[in-house]
Amino acid sequence: MRLLSMRLQNFRQHEDTSIVFEPGLTGIIGANGAGKTTILEGIAWALYGNSAARGTRDSIRFAGAKARSSVRVQLVFELAAHRYRVVRGLTSAECFLDDAEAPIASTISGVSELLQRRLGMTRSEFFHTYFTGQKDLDVMAALGPTERARFLSRVLGYDKLTSAQELVREQRRALVAEGAGLKQGMADAESVARQIAEAKVRREVALTRTQTARQSSIGIVNRAKTLTPQWTAAQAERERGQQLQSELRVSDANVAAITREVQRLTTQLAEIAAAQSDVAPLLEAIAPLPQLREALTLQDSLATAESRRQTLLERLRSVAEEEVRLNERGAQLETAPQLERDALVTIATLRAALLAAEQNLETERTGWVRDRQEAETRLESLRVQYAELEGQHTTMKGLGEETPCPTCGRPLGQSYHSVLDLLTDQLETVKVDGNYYRQRLEQLAKTPESVDLLEERRRAAQQEVAAQERRLVKIQNAVAELAGLHDQRTNATGRLAETRRLLGELPSGYDQVRHSELRGEVARLAELERRIARLSGLLDREQATGSEFDKTQLLLMTATQRVQALKQQLSEIRLDETAFAALRDAHEQLTAQSRAAELEIVAAEGEASRAAADVAASEQRRDELHRLSKRLDELETDKRLHDELDRAYSDLRTDLNTQLRPELAEIASGFLRSLTNGRYSALEFDEDYNVVVLENELPKVVVSGGEEDLCNLVLRLAISQMIAERAGQAFSLLILDEVFGSLDETRRDNVIELLRRLQDRFEQVIVITHIEQVREGLDRVLVVRYNEDSGAAIVTVGGPSTAGELEGGSASDDLLRVAS
């Protein structure tokens, strides 16, 4: 595999970077974090997709990318005489072969799977083959013997043997479990054979039983051919006799009914003959009925008027009593208006007297309160004055004649005594006045008798006003009642006149005795009238009744003839009940035998069917047993095969591990001799994969840290070559990432020189480092810088230069960064 070119667009720190990879030894140099390793990550991402990138899809996008700008990596490389161009984005991928316009793969997973098949390596194998970093060397240095053996087995792909062996063992466990399940579910062969034999015996017995039942059924059918016509004829004769008896009973009932009808019509014709003689006297008896009914109607009307009169008389009495009561109440309330006027005048006078009493009380109470407040104020003032004078008196007595004059401030001298006497007189005067006002205040502390007397007068006036106001309310209610009383008396007078008018309009002349006699006589004659109506109805039906009587006589004769005919037919039937019963029993017995034979046939056929089903089921279990036995033999064969595969994988892994050590040691020894100019002749592994360095064919006892790094480096190169050879790929590409960390300058130069001498093996070597001094031995240098203004990585092509150029760069550099 040889890299040709790559373009990174919005990938990590690279906004738009294009790189052309040349053959030989190329160095990618830059400060830590500038974006060197991102170039390698872009190669892996283009080949294997997101699984080869660090972080998430969102972290891949360039932080300063414009909105909706795409992430894109294009990688061009040669492999097996073909040229591949891979274009991958976050949501798409395409792979083109030999500059064709149409892609050979156009999906993300399709491109990854195609390249993995063409490279012959998984992502892990690709990294372990072409990529070697300081971390890999550090890991190898930290591994113990056992871990180193596992690491070598893993990177060389031997762990696939373990996975395959585990798969074989898992399949073997499944075979064993399936076999155990089959054995547990398999029936016993002898039991199945016994069930088949028993089912066949039951089937033969059932078939014999079926044949016997069918023969019995045939005999019953033959007997039925003789007995059935006899039974049918006997049944028909019996049914005819029963039908004639039923018709005879109906005809007898019909004759009896017609006879009763003849009797009824005979009675009715007799009644009609009697009615012809009874109607005339009855008509003469009811002749006065119309006049009696008119008289009864008049008496009914007079009775209603009399009842109305009694009601009106009761109302007249009630209204008259109400009128008298209203007049009496009116006489009582006639003086109410004058009483209302007098009460209003009295209340006005009493209210004026109450107002005067309240004013006198307020005046007297105000004078009392004022005198008391004045006495309190004066007493308090005298107390303050007395305290001041007493203080001055005490001060003067203490100072004597040196007491300063309150006016000019000079000592009183000879005026001291006169001033002291004056002050003493003032104290005495204040004391006397204070005693007076204290006594006065004690006198005024109790309410004066004049105030109490006025308060009593005011209270009496209030009570009298309240009493008169209550009396006024009663009088005003009486005045209101008097106003309504006039309307009530007017209404009562009107109702009294209306009641008298209605009484005058009512008719008179009601005779209660006469009314009762008329009611009885009309009831008696009405009964006779109803009898006449019934008799008249009979007379009206005389002709129809006679005609109906004749028809009924004819019907009676016809019905009697029908009865005689039926009796004659019934006497002609010869039916022996004993013979009929014997014939019926024989028929029923034959029918039961036929039904039993049919049931026996059905039961026998059912038993035969069940036995046949049991035979089929048992034979099916026998066939299933044969199939399971065959499957069990197959599982046992497969298990033995998987046992052999398990042993073969174990032997193969042992053989590979046995072959691995000398093969890997031989390749690593070649690299070590070249790197150390032949100082170290070989590198070997003991059985525990401990590294042994031979110096002049002798094991080196002490290995320095740098020498250990060299051993790990050549071992890593040897591993990469072995992976490439086993994948069928030429080991033409080698990428070393920060492998100079612990090497001194001489060792670094030796590594560079080794890589130069190995150009016949490695057509293309890429070294990534932050150590600027190694550029002197490189064929081509790519400088990676980080532009803080744009936040993007810048890659330039440069030859040997100083460290300052690495940090700053030159404007004339051949920029490989292409503007978006």
Q: What CATH number does residue 56 fall under? A: 3.40.50.300
Same domain, yes or no: 51 and 110: yes
Same domain, yes or no: 529 and 389: no
**Pick from 390-404, 668-682, 760-774: least confident:** 668-682
pLDDT of residue 366: 92
Residue 688 in any domain: the answer is no
Residue 800 and residue 776 in contact, taking contact as beta carbons nearer than 8 Å = yes
Residue 816 and residue 19 in contact, taking contact as beta carbons nearer than 8 Å = yes
* CA–CA dist 355, 361 (Å, integer): 10
pLDDT of residue 46: 93
Quick check: 244 pLDDT over 90?
no
Copy the structure tokens of residue 24: 């030989």
* CA–CA dist 327, 485 (Å, integer): 9
CB under 8 Å to 423, separation ≥6 — which residues?
389, 392, 393, 396
- How does pLDDT run across 688-697, given as a tens digit for each residue? 667 788 877 7
Residue 251 in any domain: the answer is no
- How does pLDDT run across 255-314, given as a tens digit for each residue? 899 899 888 888 877 777 777 777 778 777 788 888 888 888 888 888 888 888 889 889
Strand partners, 538: none
**Residue environment code for 229-242, b if the CB has 16+ CB neighbours within 10 A, otherwise e:** eebeebeeeeeebe
Residue 673 in any domain: the answer is no
* CA–CA dist 764, 323 (Å, integer): 147
For residue 177, count CB atoms less than 10 angstroms from its CB and return exposed for 0-12, middle for 13-18, buried for 19 or more: exposed
Same domain, yes or no: 316 and 428: no
Copy the structure tokens of residue 325: 């009561």
Same domain, yes or no: 365 and 434: yes
Same domain, yes or no: 527 and 385: no
pLDDT of residue 219: 83
Helix axes 189-285, 577-675, angle to 10 degrees: 130
* CA–CA dist 403, 422 (Å, integer): 14
* CA–CA dist 302, 620 (Å, integer): 118
CB under 8 Å to 136, separation ≥6 — which residues?
716
Same domain, yes or no: 372 and 439: yes
Report how many domains make up the chain: 3
Residue 552 in any domain: the answer is no
* CA–CA dist 522, 328 (Å, integer): 55
- For the segment 605-628, the average pLDDT, to the nearest whole number, is 86
Same domain, yes or no: 316 and 402: no
Domain that holds residue 116: 2-143+720-815
Which phi and psi angles does 78 have, rounded to 5°?
Answer: -105, 140
The whole model's pTM is what?
0.42
- How does pLDDT run across 426-483, given as a tens digit for each residue? 989 989 999 998 898 888 888 888 888 999 999 999 999 999 999 999 988 988 888 8
- How does pLDDT run across 758-768, given as a tens digit for each residue? 676 678 889 88
* CA–CA dist 816, 18 (Å, integer): 5
Same domain, yes or no: 473 and 357: yes
Same domain, yes or no: 62 and 119: yes
Residue 87: Cβ within 10 Å count = 19
Same domain, yes or no: 312 and 361: no
Same domain, yes or no: 463 and 390: yes
Q: What phi-psi label fits residue 722: left (phi over 0), alpha (psi between -120 and 50 degrees) or beta?
A: alpha
Strand intervals (E) in 31-117 = 72-79, 82-89, 93-97
Q: Which residue has the higher pLDDT, 534 or 23?
A: 23
For residue 804, count CB atoms less than 10 angstroms from its CB and return exposed for 0-12, middle for 13-18, buried for 19 or more: exposed
Residue 557 in any domain: the answer is no
**Residue environment code for 717-749, b if the CB has 16+ CB neighbours within 10 A, otherwise e:** bbbbbbbbeebebebbbbbbbbbbebbeeebbe
Domain CATH for 408: 1.10.287
Chain mean position to CA 365: 85
Q: Is the dihedral of CA 132, 747, 796, 1 positive or negative?
A: negative
Could you say which of 466, 499, 532 is where a domain stops?
499
Copy the structure tokens of residue 426: 């003032």
**Pick from 76-90, 125-139, 501-515, 632-646: least confident:** 125-139
Residue 466 in any domain: the answer is yes
According to DSSP, the β-strands at 2-11 and 14-20 are antiparallel
